[in-house]
Amino acid sequence: MALELDAIPILDNHCHSLLRAQPQDDAAFRIHLTESYYPEIARDHVPHSLFYLWAIRELAAFLGCEPTPDAVHATRRERGVERLTREIVQRANFRGWLVDTGYGTDTTLSLDELRGFVPCDIREILRLEPLIERLIVDATGFDEFLEAYRAALADLRGSGYVGMKSVIAYRSGLQLEAFDRAAAKAAFDELHPAARRDGKLRIESKALLDFLIVAAVEQSARQDVPIQFHTGLGDPDLDLTKVDPAAMRLIFSDTYRGAPIVLLHAGYPYVRSLAYLAAMFPNVYADLGEVTLFVAGEVPGIVRELLGLAPASKILFSTDASLVPELYWLGARAGRRALARVLDEHVTDGLIDQDAALAMAEQILWRNAERLYRL
């Protein structure tokens, strides 16, 4: 008998808010079914991807309409974002969303607005790079900046956060080095005048970022607050050769053993690196997000690789859904199906029994995240 996991709730440990203005037709919607920001990818190639073709069929079944783009979008427009989101959360059985609020802040709903209609627990993850950028612009010098940064991280739970998140993978890569204060100050002094003049910046300085992110890992250890890191695939502006999570060896040392470190996006394509790290280091956890959306044809294989080495107690589930609520539904559906399929295989092969398989599914889908984020 095949495993059925729909009754097990999902605690989505990494996701994003929803657009105020939702896409109204297929051309606008397709942009959200690719990580590429090149318009010709969404226009010419997404309609021929497994993810898009499956998404239209899956959403048509959810909405109760014909499996065509026009029918899907007519029905989702009729539903409206609030009703659609409520139905998705209820039918997909979401227990909670841990929302990274540092992405799309100008165009997305606030947490209070989400809480007004989303029928599950919603908590906040602090994204570090936007915080760093704001503090650099506001500061008159390095000492003032560093004091403000440390103050912002001094009491994370007291400030309403259940975790932190870094996208240093996009900026300077995951090859973290132990830069000292003097090197960080020199890097700050180099970029600060332009930041003050322009009133903004995109922080990419390796010496400054490595120094600040390692300081955040120290706070993670001191406060027992998880810190998430983007690893693996993402937008085209990252260097794929610099996002293997194995490169983060510095923060896997005993010095930071108290820091709960969550490595996001299954590390794809470095899935085996991620499984190894979760299996070896007590404080390192593997997240199963994003691949359930953008790597539609490989999800069972990715789950199989993670579970082949990493204990179920070290794997967390997320959708990495953002901007449009349908991604929450698609991520939940693909993730549960893949997890059920792989666990079924292991039951059939005699590695585990059905009770153990269901217990593992519960750990991955919600129990590990509830324990780790102290919810």
Report pLDDT for 1.
Answer: 53
- Can you tell me the mean pLDDT for 15-35? 96
For 254, how many CA atoms within 13 A lie in the half-sphere containing its CB? Answer: 0
Report pLDDT for 256.
Answer: 96
Beta bridge partners of 9: none
Question: Are the CB atoms for 163 and 125 separated by under 8 Å?
Answer: yes
- Can you tell me the mean pLDDT for 23-34? 96
Report pLDDT for 53.
Answer: 97
Report pLDDT for 306.
Answer: 97
CA distance 341 to 329: 18
Report pLDDT for 263.
Answer: 98
**Domain residue spans of the chain:** 10-22+80-372, 24-79
- Can you tell me the mean pLDDT for 347-361? 97
Report pLDDT for 105.
Answer: 85
| Model confidence pTM above 0.85 | yes
Question: Are the CB atoms for 96 and 12 separated by under 8 Å?
Answer: yes
Judge whether residue 104 has pLDDT over 90: no
Here the tokens at position 111 are 């947490």
Mean pLDDT of the chain: 97
Report pLDDT for 2.
Answer: 77
Q: Which fold, 10-22+80-372? A: TIM Barrel (3.20.20)
Judge whether residue 118 has pLDDT over 80: yes
- Give the pLDDT confidence of 133-161 residue by residue, as tens digits: 999 999 999 999 999 999 999 999 999 99
Judge whether residue 75 has pLDDT over 80: yes
> For residue 193, is the peptide bond before it cis, meaning its omega torsion is within 30 degrees of 0?
no
